[in-house]
Chain A
Amino acid sequence: MNILSVQGLTKQYPSFTLQSVSFSLSYGRIMGLIGVNGAGKTTTLKSILNMVCPDDGQIEMLGRSFPDNELACKQEIGVVFGGVDFYQHKKLRDITNVTRRFYTNWDESAYQKYMQEFNLDELKQVKQLSAGMRVKYSIALALSHHAKLLIFDEPTSGLDPVSRDDLLVLFRQLIKDGQRSILFSTHITSDLEKCADDITYIKKGKVLASAEKESFIQSFQHLKEPSDSRGLTLEEVMLRTERGSNNV
């Protein structure tokens, strides 16, 4: 059963078009949304969340139409767009005190657990946090209301290798019970190699391929060159696909 289904998502801008993006994510899976900068990853995520008004397309989340059940769906999702970059002069405690009021499933003990795990001090202001700590705070908020679907936009950007690895391990733990799924956009292919189950590749606003990781990589093996002694990695797939078309 799908936790998220995106069908024919289209958004037209004067200089860019998201063209009929379709993919689906099952329960207990991690999907990586990959593509170069400007490919349409963030626009896709924002369109899914109604932050950008799509021109066309259907979004089903947890078995319900998202536009018709926006409120109920948002109670069950956790969203992280990069790190926290709002209310720079506010203390984390103040932001949490407001955020928790909006979630019926807010779990204070889970919140405290993640704050401790991530070494976050509630009395610090947002501006006093490093980029990585801001991402961690966003994730702590998202995980504290038992979200079933976690949508992360570039969550690992700005994190040191250790924190990044910790986060990817955490991602795997989160989906272990099969009740949660994670959709995250990134251009760091090594993160996907480590933790993604499925890959959706967006190029110039179009979905080039969306499949289970191994079969995704297999489907691009035609890009292999005679000098390649082994199968292509995800990074090589991306590099060759992008460079092939741009003739770089």
Chain B
Amino acid sequence: MALTPDDIASIAHLARVGIKPEALAPLAADLSNVLDLVEQLQAIDTTGVEPMAHPASASLWLREDDVTEVNQRDTLQEPAPQTQDGYFLVPRVIE
């Protein structure tokens, strides 16, 4: 499966990853190689095989409905690039 630089640009947009224009072609080549590797899967007969999303040992643990978190806003916002009056700030979003 060959991906074009345009394909890369649109996937990169979907994933919000900035890619420099000159990097699109080499990336397209790299990812096409990976897809060729992955294409081997198509030859395997998986008729009737249940997809496995988690290891067999995994089970879901549920917690009781208790509020144990306290307000830690100052601590939790310490690593934030920009905050004001308790809000996280981002460039103005036009709706």
Please say whether chains A and B are actual partners in one complex: no
> What residues make up the interface of A, taking CB atoms closer than 8 Å to B?
none
